[in-house]
Amino acid sequence: MPPRPTDPRRGTRGGVTDPDLDPAGASPRGGAEHGTGRSRSGIGDARRYTPRGRSLREADAERGQRRGGDPFRPALKVVQGGADEPARRGGRAGAARAQDRAPIDRTGRDRAAADGAPEPAPRARRTPPADPVAGRRMGQGRGAGAGGARTGGRSAAGNRIPTRSRIAQGAGRGGPGKPVRRPKRQVALPEPRRRLRLASVLMLALFVVIGGRLVELQLIDAKAYAATALVNRIQTVALPAPRGAIYDRDRKILVHSVEARLVYADPGMVKDPQAAARQLAPLLAKPVSELLPKLAKHTFKNGTPVRFEYLARGVDVAVGDKVNALNLPGVRVEYDERRDVPGHDLAANLLGFTNYDLTGVTGIEAGYNKVLQGIPGERKFEVGGGDVAAEIPGGYNDEKPAKPGSSVQLTINSDLQYHVQTVLSQQMQKVKADFGSAVVLDVHTGEVLAQASYPGYDAAEPANATAKQLRDANTDLVVDPGSVMKAVTIGAALQEGVVKPDSTVTIGPAIRKGDTTFADTHPLPQGTRITLPGIFAYSSNVGAITVGDQLGAQKLYEYQQKFGLGQATGEGLPGESPGLIQPPKNWSGSSYGSIPIGDGISTTPLQMAAAYAAIANGGVWVQPHLVKDTITPDGTVTPAPAPRTHRVLSTQVADELRQMMEAVVTVPGATGHKAAVPGYRVAGKTGTGKFVMPNGKYDSHDVASFIGMAPAEAPRYVIAVFAHATGNGGDVSAPAFSDMMGFTLAQNHVPPSSTAPPSFQVTR
């Protein structure tokens, strides 16, 4: 019994379809004429249905479509009555009849082909495995050789079996033997797995970088970034530190700081400068012509717009409130501090002033700036964002309190200072002096009880003062002291034993030293024997030069140093001049005549006053000083450092010298009668010196002076008065001294002298 038509093994060897079988040759009616060689059994098509329900031709057509073939070729065959249709209609019976009519030779060729019928073109099909053993196992014909269908071979009849590629070429060109142009090779796509691995590595690296950055931000640098963010939200407000006050010896305010306001403008925001200037002028007490240029838009020299201009500083709080009430665009009011000087010109040359930044410029304000100036504080707090930028409740808040400056208590007595200033000013105006000075010293302590300069100024308005008014004549100006130097010369001679209190000096009306002749204002005949009190009383230049010759240049120079000449006293004012004294090596021939009488050297009025205070203090020099105490903000009082002291003369010599100088006020015809103080014994000396101008030449005016002490029997105070005017010390300065000393003694309740001054013999 023949096998079933549906047996897939029919017409195959080992399950592989014979390459010579082509269903395309089937009869259109479902059968084939036996022996014609043009028709084949329908079983070929029956076997080409795949297990999925599609025929291999349909699968080939689908693959052809994907490979760029004609997707509609199978459909066209059906429309045109293709050879496949009869096989499908014939079913199993047709397949059986075709099998009977066209048996397949074991060599795989159609019998009809053996009879000489033309062989149809072989149909391209799947390429069998290349393994020869597998090929034989799958039923390939023995005549095909070891290569099988892949390599081609020959059938039992001797015909060459084309390879699969050649079959494909023949099918493509319509017949065997015609080569077909190979399609252009396509570029191989990258390996998907390599691309996936590369993408994975890149993504992993990206995640590692991001993760590392997150670790850095969250763990390593978190505190630093948090601190930076906090700083950006922190607003700092300065807390001003009030400047310390300056008191007199009785704690009366001489200078202190008060709260004030500053008014400024941003010219770029001022809408109507003219109207703003008119409204501000009466409040700020400034003319419109001064305010308008500051309010109007203007630029710097480089073309940059000016955005800040001070309109007024240190104005009263009430004035600042009124300016704020105007609500002028571009005009602002801020906190300020102002130095208030209740006495205006009282001790102005002594106190000095500050700039707008409250930094001392002159006087005590400058000399004790570090003590007076406080340390500003600050308040830092956290603010929110936006235009309001308000403080965040409960946020960061740190306040560093300001440390107000310490106050300074001076040795000055305000009432005495006022009286001395008044008397000096009146006397200097009377004698038409260019400048004048007066200083009152406590001989025992070195305290400066009053220190006045002429001309003065208003310390509340320092901008209106000239340079001449701002200087302190007691420490800034140096002069040739003149005859007041004779007390130093004779005191040194007494201390060295060159002369005694009862010694006499033979003199004449004049004496020549070098190329200069020195004469007396009270000339005496040649050979006159003058006493030491007589030298003081008549201010004898010849007698003082003669004593200086006996003392010697070196000793005179040494005693000038001991009396504090040639060096600043360190009173407390900045810019104090040290003066100038000449060592003997610098002396010329005339120096031996000029230096003993106070010419050819330069001193300050304060230096000469300190020298006379040493004589009044029993021969002990005490450093003059202005500061008594410093007072911290909490009220702690710290006394000023003790003044320097050193002995210049013995007590006996100092007493003898002081007694001799009483002759200046008491001896008939003496030079200092106008310095007498009713009820008190006075000792002192007149002087007429010179003032050296900046060009190095002497001015035409004299420097008239008087320095004295009272009570002479037990001195308490020394007062020195200098005036740059025409005249001698007895006429210009002595009257002012008398007034000042009388007030000082009365104010301090010093009892009048209980003894009369001694009687003096001038010549013998």
Which residues are catalytic, by number? Answer: 483
CB 45 within 8 A of CB 88: yes
Neighbour tally for 482: CB within 10 Å: 26
> What is d(CA 31, CA 99) in angstroms, rounded to the nearest whole number?
10
Q: Where are the alpha helices (DSSP H) in 115-161?
A: 132-137, 148-151
Residue 287 near residue 281 (C-beta atoms within 8 A): yes
436/349 Cα distance (integer angstroms): 12
**DSSP notation for 495-513:** HHTSS-TT-EEEE-SEEEE
For the range 132-140, what are the long-range contacts, defined as Cβ-Cβ under 8 Å and sequence gap of 24 or more?
137/14, 138/13, 138/14, 138/15, 138/16, 139/12, 139/13, 139/14, 139/15, 139/16, 140/13, 140/14, 140/16
> 62-79: b or e for each residue (b if 16 or more CB lie within 10 Å)?
eeeeeeeeeeeebeebee
Alpha carbon distance 314, 335 (integer Å): 9
CA gyration radius, the chain: 64
CB 351 within 8 A of CB 245: no
Instruction: Please answer whether residues 387 and 402 qualify as being in contact, where contact means their C-beta atoms are separated by less than 8 angstroms.
Output: no
The Cα 131–Cα 485 span in angstroms is 141
**161 backbone dihedrals φ, ψ, rounded to 5°:** -90, 120
Q: How much of the chain is in helix, strand and coil states, percent to nearest 5?
A: 35, 20, 40
| CB of 352 closer than 8 Å to CB of 459 | yes
